[in-house]
Amino acid sequence: MVLPKFAFFNGRILPYEDTRVGLLTHALNYGTGCFAGLRAYWNAEENELFVFRALDHFIRFLDSTRLLAMDFPYTPENLRDHLLELLRREGERRDCYIRPLAFLSEETIGVGLMSLSPALSIVAFPFGKYLDREQGAHMTISSWRRIEDNVIPARGKISGGYVNSALAKLDAQRAGFDDAILLDSRGRVSEGTVANIFMVRRGELVTPPVTDSVLEGITRRTVIELARRELGLPVVERSIDRTELFVAEEVFFAGTGIEVMPVSRIDHRTIGVSPVGEITGRIRHLYFEAVRGKLPAYRGWCEPVFAGAVRAEAGVGIA
C-alpha cells in the first residue's frame, strides 16, 4: 500500500509521519473511534479527480461521532473542503481511497467516554480494487452474528464494531471463501463484512432495511436510486431469509471499497445462471459511469478536486 504524504489532523495539514499516536491512546485500547471510507476517481478525459458523494459520507461520519458522544466544530461542508484541499496537496492523478477517522486520542485508562477529547484526521492514498473478482465472489454465511443496534450500532462505522467483520472474514478466508455474509441476531441476512447486500428475486431488487443491523451505506442508496431511475426496477427494502439468497436470480454486494461486486456462489451453491447476472451487470456499469462523473444526471454526486482550486482562487465556491 502507498502511504499518504500528508494528513489533515486536528484542523491542519501535516506531513503524514508527524501524526503518530501513543500506545495508551483510548481508541487504540478500547476501539472508541469511528471512521468513513470514500473514493476519489480519476477521469482521464477531463483531467480531473472526482470525490464520490463526499457530503453524504461526511454526514454519516458526523452521525457516527455523535453515537460516540464526540463533539466537533465541523460541518459536512467544512470536512469536504478540508478533504479537497488535502487531495490537492497530495496531487494524485489516479484513483484514491480516503479515510476520515475520529477517535478518543487521550492517553488514559478507563472506558468512560465523558470528558475525553477527540481527534479527527483524514488521509488519502492511491488505491485500486478491494477484491479482484470481476466474475463473482464466493461467499460463505458466517457463524458469527452481526452486531445489533443494542450491542454496537452497525448503522455507524464504529472502529470497535469492525472486530465483528474481521472475525467473520478471518474464518471465511481460512475456509477458502473470498468473504462472508453475516446474519443478524434473529437469523436474517444483514450484510457483508464491508458492504451492503442486494438480491434480485422475480425481477425485484431486494435489500434489508436499515433496521436489520446494517450500515446505512452510501453505495446502497446509490444503487437504489440508479435501479429505480435508470432501470425502472422495483426496489424493496425488507428482511431477507438466508435461503432466499440460495434461490435468488442474482446477488451482489455494494460498498465504497468493494464497489458493485457480483456474488457467484454462496457456500458452494451457484447463484443464478451466469457469473454476472444481467441486472447486476447493468447496475455495475451505471455505478462505474456515475462515480467518474460520466452521467450528467448524477454529476452533482462528484466533487471535482482540481477545478475546485481554480474556483477557490477566483473567490468562488469553497473557502
- Residues involved in catalysis: 157
Instruction: Give the residue carrying C-alpha cell 477529547.
Output: 117
Which 35-74 residues touch ligand PMP, going by CB under 6 A? 37
Q: What φ, ψ does residue 90 adopt, rounded to 5°?
A: -65, -35
* CB-nearer residue toward ligand PMP: 9 or 35: 35
Q: How far is CA 45 from CA 10, 193, 294, 306, in A?
A: 35, 34, 10, 14
Which 107-166 residues touch ligand PMP, going by CB under 6 A? 165
* CB-nearer residue toward ligand PMP: 80 or 220: 220
Question: Minimal distance in Å, beta carbon 117 to ligand PMP?
Answer: 26
Distance CA 79, CA 74 (A): 7
**208 lies in the site for ligand PMP, by CB under 6 A:** no
Taking alpha carbons only, the member of 163, 252, 236 closest to residue 199 is: 252
Q: Which of 156, 255, 262, 277 binds ligand PMP (CB under 6 A)?
A: 255
C-alpha grid cell for residue 76? Answer: 459536512
Question: Minimal distance in Å, beta carbon 12 to ligand PMP?
Answer: 26
Name the DSSP letter for residue 4: P
Taking alpha carbons only, the member of 182, 201, 183, 202 closest to residue 192 is: 182
User: CB under 8 Å to 236, separation ≥6 — which residues?
Assistant: 204, 205, 206, 207
Taking alpha carbons only, the member of 199, 103, 191 closest to residue 155 is: 191
Distance CA 267, CA 245 (A): 11
Q: Which of 191, 212, 259, 303 binds ligand PMP (CB under 6 A)?
A: 191
Contact of 39 with 127, CB cutoff 8 Å: yes
Q: Which of 139, 181, 200, 218 binds ligand PMP (CB under 6 A)?
A: 218
Q: Which of 62, 172, 194, 271 binds ligand PMP (CB under 6 A)?
A: 194
Q: How many residues bind ligand PMP (CB under 6 A)?
A: 14
Piece of the chain touching ligand PMP by CB under 6 A; list 202-210, 212-220, 242-250, 273-281: 212-220
Which 20-39 residues touch ligand PMP, going by CB under 6 A? 37
Question: Minimal distance in Å, beta carbon 157 to ligand PMP?
Answer: 6
Q: What residues line the site for ligand PMP (CB under 6 A)?
A: 37, 165, 191, 194-196, 215, 217-220, 255-257
